Amino acid sequence: MIIQPQIQGVIARNCHPIGCKAAIDAQIHHAQQQRPTPGLPKNVLVLGASSGFGLASRIALTFGPANASTIGVSFERGISEKGIGSAGWYNNIYVRDAAKQAGRMTSNIVGDAFSEQTRQTVADTIRTQCGGKIDLVVYSLATGIRPNPETGEFWRSSIKPVGQAVDGYSINFENNSLSHLTLPPASEQEIEDTVKVMGGEDWLSWMQFLQHNDLLSEGCRTVAYSYIGPAHTHAIYHNGTLGLAKAHLHQTRHDIDALLSDIHGKADIAVCKALVTKASVFIPSLTPYLLALYRVMKAKGLQEGCIEQMDRLFYQKWNDDEDRDDEGLIRIDDWELQQDVQDEVNAILAEMTPDNFDQVADYTGVLTDFLQLNGFGFPEVDYQAPVSIEQLKALTP
């Protein structure tokens, strides 16, 4: 079968497994170039391990000098009569295969991170694979829904401003267009539900589960990822529903610190740069900013993808307790927020319209990143070559 991209708006309906492998190989290569640094984790649980920052965290720690053993949890689908499966499904498989080849212990757990069953499977795997204890939990889930454990009903997040409507643009990768949109302000219920889905409650409950089951080693650390961004994005992000959820996540760090105090553990928030991922392309109004940001950061030689960010986090920032902001957060959005970068981004945004966005900004770069997340657009992959469905069916995570 020859696989061509099927794009609907900002959603990829399929992926190219051979291209997914190319993406994994490139990230592994990057991780292998890092310099050793003391005090890195050896046994790592990654929640949200199959794409974006979680995948890059896993690759950085497995294939970089940390040489860590990892357990990756994600929610992905394999090949079926409905389709070829998701990129994350194949990412899990290729990371596992490469890790085994490199002599690292590794396991994939594909299931709902919010379910009790997944937690039990994780606990069992920590006992068998990691000698019963882990020393780092990476919390990198990005999702629009979370089940209420008491009622079984779902909380659903809304990506909306708070207080007043916001005007902006949204991108469409299917027909290469930018269109105007007005986002109404969120209701109180939508704010509350978004905090339930993307705030810190589930992070804390994972840490409580692991601690109560004695699965955390002395000095265990945990990190969750956040975004703050520049003034231009505040109405839709930092001061919107997502920002309120992130504020809750930041606050939860202190609850986890208290929870881990007996074992001298510690919770961190790493504030990352804005990047094209499966989750971020859903944020309306953020994509025009990404188009401008990509152009400016590339021109200045400052552009990073998820793997560059995670390599910098673990191999440069991780053990430097002084290198924190006033709130105690690790900042790997520092290059994005440089004044010279933001001045140039603002100049591009001021002139960006639906007619010129592909000339004044880096639409090609953003589209390429989006395609590559799904295994398309790699020059070294022969997309005319048929892919064996039987072989894909034999692949399991």
Catalytic residue IDs: 237
Interface with ligand NAI (CB under 6 A), residue from 129, 280, 316, 368: 280
Q: Can residue 274 be called a binding residue for ligand NAI (CB under 6 A)?
A: yes
52 lies in the binding site for ligand NAI (CB under 6 A): yes
The DSSP code for 83 is B
Q: Give the separation between CA 17 and CA 85, rounded to whole angstroms.
A: 9
Q: Residue 331 interacts with ligand NAI (CB under 6 A)?
A: no
Regarding 255 and contact with ligand NAI (CB under 6 A), the answer is: no
Report the number of secondary-structure helices (H) and strands (E) in the chain.
14, 13
* Location of structure tokens 């002395």: 218
List the structure tokens of 27. 């990230």
Between 53 and 217, name the residue whose CB sits nearer to ligand NAI: 53
Q: According to CB under 6 A, which residues from 105 to 134 bind ligand NAI? A: 112-114
Residue positions forming the annotated binding site for NAD(+): 48-53, 75-76, 112-113, 141-142, 246, 275-277
59 sits near ligand NAI (criterion: CB under 6 A): no
- By beta-carbon proximity to ligand NAI, the closer residue of 217 and 246 is 246
Question: What single letter denotes the amino acid at residue 242?
Answer: L
Binding piece for ligand NAI, criterion CB under 6 A, among 48-56, 126-134, 151-159, 346-354: 48-56
Cα separation of 35 and 29, whole Å?
Answer: 13
Q: Which residue ranges are tagged as binding site for substrate?
A: 227
Should residue 233 be labelled a site residue for ligand NAI when binding is judged by CB under 6 A?
A: no
Residue 56 structure tokens? 């890059």
Write the single-letter amino acid at 259: L
Binding-site residue total for ligand NAI (CB under 6 A)? 29
How many CB atoms are closer than 10 A to CB 133?
A: 17
The reply on whether position 278 binds ligand NAI by CB under 6 A is yes
Q: Which amino acid is at 199?
A: G
46, 79, 132, 287, 377 from 110: Cα distances, Å: 12, 14, 20, 29, 27
Interacting residues with ligand NAI (CB under 6 A):
48-54, 73-76, 88, 112-114, 140-143, 225-227, 272, 274-275, 277-280
